[in-house]
């Protein structure tokens, strides 16, 4: 359903999050049941009495007891109706929950229910087929009462190009437990015996306007989730830009070569991310680090490449040239996103990117494009790596990019180790500054950007991240009382204005689509 809705245009990319939110808890439940069953089997084998092979009444009683215990245990294992039909989705972003609690289940037993998230209860149609045989690839409204108004819901589905059908259950079939007699079944493909979750629509009269409101609210649930996650993505990327902009402040406080700073910064930043993952996820966080897959390693490598190229580019050419090249990021990112994802950037985003580029040019002053070809080439490599990383994060939403952020910092420290000359000479207070540098600027910035850029078009994420440039002088003013030049205020206003205009325009477009 998720992939089909995305390709057909009636669902946003955030609908893909439903797969992990729905299936991961089920995997954990099945694993728990399996481990408990294995423990019971082992315990039963250890508890076989010595008299089981003895003839006579005592042996007969022992054999009967062991046989009954084995039967009871194996019925659960091989006739596991609860495991196959009783589980439910209780945290899906595309199910409209009504506050009712799903019935509990065991490995062997379950209770059919129409509570949202439970498997669609069994019922027979008038022609003798089971209701499951009538479910198609789209959304299916199953009615136990043909008087329930469906025209407003059907109109809304057609208007949004959502596949939709209605199936009526004959009155001879009793409505399922759960207090509802109309169920909206989501088109989710599962293995035989798998769950078929349902969205519940309460019974309404055919003349009631509330039927349309209730239906439309529930149909819009996936779209509302998409809009909510889009706004969250904007907040996260803005916060990442703020964190990144503190780099000059921390650098001013440290009298060491760039490679030494890069080594300690990556060590502290990567260490903090790993510690947070272990604290919040336990062993699952460690598994994310060891099982990232090719996409996670590629993202981490691109992030490391960008960090490594940044240091010598500043040493081989002017800061102005590097800043100008970084400001082309939104265009490079938008181009790669179009090539890889066929993601067409909005016209307003591209116009805002041009304005932001002009603002960066004003801030850095006289950029000498012709100077120091190697430094400029490294800056271009960095911009390309960041753009590719942004697009990959967007494409591989199910990869743990937080783990990739940790790995990129660790790789950066390893690469910088041979070039760093002052590692052993770092003092205690400077070590504290380096820790803050790694924690706030690197760990926080990268983690927020990886999380936020998954929820935004790649070009927009890159545009918002340009807020880093005008915010850098702000921290220097706060920490060292250096008043920025007039061009910094003018250029900063252009960049911030471009980003704000894009966000406002995006919000209006979201409201119009709603």
Domains of the chain, by residue range, sit at 2-47+80-219, 243-513
pLDDT of 14: 67
The answer to whether the CB of 198 falls within 8 A of the CB of 177 is no
208: confidence class by pLDDT, cuts 50, 70, 90: very low
Q: Does the pLDDT value for residue 202 go beyond 80?
A: no
What beta strand segments (E) does 86-208 contain?
Answer: 139-143, 164-168, 182-185, 198-200
pLDDT of 88: 84
511: confidence class by pLDDT, cuts 50, 70, 90: low
Between vectors from CA 408 to CA 403 and to CA 409, what angle results, nearest 5°?
100
Dihedrals φ, ψ of 164, to 5°?
-150, 140
Residue-wise pLDDT tens digits, 124-179? 888 888 888 888 777 888 888 777 778 888 888 777 778 888 888 888 877 776 55
Which class is 2-47+80-219 in CATH?
Answer: alpha beta
**Residue whose tokens read 């808890």:** 25
Closest CA to 212 of 152, 290, 160, 149: 152
Q: What does pTM read for this prediction?
A: 0.50
Q: Does the pLDDT value for residue 119 go beyond 80?
A: yes
Stronger pLDDT, 322 or 150, i.e. the higher one: 150
**Residue whose tokens read 């939104």:** 330
Q: Does the pLDDT value for residue 218 go beyond 70?
A: no
10: confidence class by pLDDT, cuts 50, 70, 90: low
Instruction: Report the share of the chain in percent with pLDDT over 90.
Output: 1
Q: Does the pLDDT value for residue 236 go beyond 80?
A: yes
Closest CA to 489 of 504, 475, 502, 471: 471
50: confidence class by pLDDT, cuts 50, 70, 90: confident
């Amino acid at each position: 359903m998720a992939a089909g809705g995305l390709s057909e245009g009636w669902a946003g990319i955030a609908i893909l999050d439903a797969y992990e939110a729905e299936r991961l808890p089920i995997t954990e439940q099945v694993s728990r049941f399996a481990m408990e069953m294995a423990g019971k089997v082992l315990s039963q084998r250890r508890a076989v009495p010595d008299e089981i092979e003895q003839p006579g009444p005592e042996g007969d009683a022992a054999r009967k007891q062991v046989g009954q215990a084995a039967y009871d245990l194996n019925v659960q294992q091989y006739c596991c109706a609860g495991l196959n039909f009783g589980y439910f989705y209780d945290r899906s972003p595309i199910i409209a929950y009504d506050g009712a609690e799903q019935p509990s289940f065991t490995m062997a037993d379950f209770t059919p229910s129409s509570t949202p998230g439970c498997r669609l209860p069994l019922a027979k149609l008038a022609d003798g087929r089971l209701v499951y045989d009538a479910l198609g690839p789209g959304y299916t409204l199953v009615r136990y009462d043909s008087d329930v108004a469906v025209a407003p819901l059907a109109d809304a589905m057609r208007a949004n190009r959502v596949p939709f059908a209605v199936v009526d259950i004959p009155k001879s079939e009793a409505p399922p437990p759960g207090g509802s007699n109309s169920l909206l079944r989501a088109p989710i493909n599962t293995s035989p015996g798998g769950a078929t979750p349902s969205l519940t629509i309460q019974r309404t009269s055919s003349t009631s306007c509330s039927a349309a409101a209730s239906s439309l609210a529930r149909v819009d649930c996936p779209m509302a989730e998409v809009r909510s996650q889009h706004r969250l993505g904007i907040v996260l990327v803005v916060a990442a830009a703020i964190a990144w902009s503190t780099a000059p402040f921390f650098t001013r406080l440290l009298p060491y070569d760039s490679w030494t700073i890069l080594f300690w910064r990556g060590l502290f930043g990567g260490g903090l991310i790993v510690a947070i993952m272990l604290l919040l996820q336990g062993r699952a966080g460690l598994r994310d680090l060891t099982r990232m897959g090719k996409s996670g390693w590629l993202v981490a490598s691109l992030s490391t490449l960008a960090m490594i190229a940044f240091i010598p580019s500043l040493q081989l050419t002017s800061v102005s040239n590097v800043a100008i090249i970084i400001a082309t990021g939104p265009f490079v990112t938008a181009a790669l996103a179009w090539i890889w994802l066929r993601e067409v950037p909005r016209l307003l985003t591209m116009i805002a990117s041009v304005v932001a580029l002009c603002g960066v040019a004003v801030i850095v002053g006289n950029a000498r494009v012709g100077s120091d070809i190697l430094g400029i080439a490294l800056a271009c490599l960095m911009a390309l790596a960041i753009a590719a990383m942004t697009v990959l994060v967007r494409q591989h939403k199910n990869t743990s990019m937080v783990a990739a952020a940790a790995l990129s910092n660790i790789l950066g420290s390893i690469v910088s180790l041979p070039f760093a000359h002052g590692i052993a000479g770092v003092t205690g207070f400077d070590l504290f500054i380096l820790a803050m540098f790694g924690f706030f600027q690197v760990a926080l910035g990268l983690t927020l950007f990886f999380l936020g850029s998954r929820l935004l078009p790649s070009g927009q994420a890159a545009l918002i991240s340009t807020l880093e440039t005008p915010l850098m002088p702000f921290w220097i003013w706060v920490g060292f009382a250096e008043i920025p030049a007039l061009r910094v205020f003018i250029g900063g206003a252009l960049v911030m204005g471009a980003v704000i205009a894009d966000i406002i325009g995006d919000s209006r477009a979201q409201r119009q689509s709603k």
